[in-house]
Amino acid sequence: MLPGVLSATSPGRGKADECIGDNAMGAGNQQERLDPEWIAGFVDGEGCFHVALNRQPAMRTEWQVLPEFRVVQHRRDERLLKQLQSYFGCGSVTVNNGDRMEFRVRGLKNLTQVVAFFERHPLRTRKQHDFRSFARVIRLMMNGDHLTKTGLAHVARLSLAMNRKRNTSASRILRDCTPDTARTR
Amino acid sequence: MLPGVLSATSPGRGKADECIGDNAMGAGNQQERLDPEWIAGFVDGEGCFHVALNRQPAMRTEWQVLPEFRVVQHRRDERLLKQLQSYFGCGSVTVNNGDRMEFRVRGLKNLTQVVAFFERHPLRTRKQHDFRSFARVIRLMMNGDHLTKTGLAHVARLSLAMNRKRNTSASRILRDCTPDTARTR
C-alpha cells in the first residue's frame, strides 16, 4: 500500500496523518499566510477532489476506497504548494510528473478538516458539485459505511457522479454490490 | 480591426470600453458578488495576461499593441464568467473555442482598472511576474509610449519576458527598433 493510503480496514491512520494537529491550520509565517478566499479561488481553478476505488481482493469488500485532495502546479510554484501544506497543516508536496509538483492530502482526519474548510469557503465553479460528493464520501467513511457492500455501493455512486470520465471500478462495484442482500459489515 | 481592439492611433477607445463606469466594479446582485481574494486565487489558476503584437504596416510604428486579460472556462461555468464581468464592470463573455467560453477585457481604461485590482489583491503564483510586466505595458500605453519606436521596443521586451513560448513579433520589433536612433514619435 502506498504511504498515507487509507486502508478500508484502518481508516484515517496513514502516513498522511503525521503532520496534522488541532491547531495546525494557519501554522507558518504569518507574512506568508494565504487568504482562505484566495485558496478557495485557486482550488476552484487548480484543485481536484478525487475518490479512487482500487480492487483489493484481500479486503472484506474487495475494494479499497482512497479519497484525496490534490493541487498540481509547475515546480516553479513549489513554494506556494508548501504554503498550502502549511495552511492546512497536513498533506505532502511531492513530484507529480516531470516538472510538475503536487500538494496532496490523504487520510480521513486530514480530509475532514479540508472538507470543513471548503464548507466555510465555498467553491464557485461546477467543481463545487464534485466537492459535495467528495464530502459525502468522507462522511460515509468516517462512519465506516464503506466497509459494507451497501455503503460501498453508495460511495461508488458518488464517485461516478464526481468523475465525468468513465469509471469502470465504480460501475463494477455497483454491479456487484447492488442490491446488498448477501453480506453485511 | 477586431471589436474592442486597441489601436495604436486611438488608445483605449475600442468597443471593450462600452460597459465600464467609475462605479461599475462591484455592480450586480450583492448575493452573487464574488470575494476579491477569491477572484485573485481563481485568476492565479485560470487567468491570462497577454500582450499581442500584430504587424500593421499602415500604423506609424507598423505594429499594433493589443493587451488583454482573459479567463477561459468550460461553458458550464459561463455564469461565473458573467459574475466576473459584473464584478469588473467591463469586458465581454463570448465563445472561446468549442465548449469553452472566455471572459475578456480589452481597452486601456478597463485594463487600468484590472491592473489596479490585482495590485490591491496580488497574485501569488509566478503569474505575478507576467502581471507585473503587463501592468508596465499598460502604463507605457497610457503615456502613449508604444507609439514611438523606443517605447514599442520597451513593450516588446516586456512581452518577451511575459511569454514563455517563442514570441517572433516581439523579437522582430526588438531587431527593428533597437536602438532607436532614426525616428521619434
Q: How far is B98 from chain A (nearest CA, A)?
A: 18
Map out the domains of chain A as residue ranges: 15-177
The contacts of residue B38 (CB under 8 Å, 6+ apart) are A37, A38, A40, A41, A44, A124
Q: Which of A40, A43, A125 sits opposite B80 (nearest CB)?
A: A125
More reliable by pLDDT, B98 or A166:
B98
Q: Do residues B124 and B37 make contact, with C-beta atoms less than 8 angstroms apart?
A: no
Q: Is the ipTM of this complex over 0.85?
A: no
Q: How far apart are CA B73 and CA A107, in angstroms?
A: 31
Q: How far apart are CA B27 and CA B90, in angstroms?
A: 10
- Does the structure show a pLDDT above 60 at A1? no
- Residues recorded for chain A: 185
User: Tell me, what's the pLDDT at B185?
Assistant: 41
CATH of segment(s) B15-177: 3.10.28.10
Task: Using a CB–CB cutoff of 8 Å, tell me whether B124 touches chain A.
Answer: yes
For A100-117, the pLDDT digits (tens) are 999 999 999 999 999 999
Query: What cell was used for B36?
Result: 476579491
> Residue A44 and residue B43: Cβ atoms within 8 Å?
no
Mean pLDDT of A88-96: 97
Q: Band of the pLDDT at B179, cuts 50, 70, 90?
A: low
Q: How far is B165 from chain A (nearest CA, A)?
A: 15
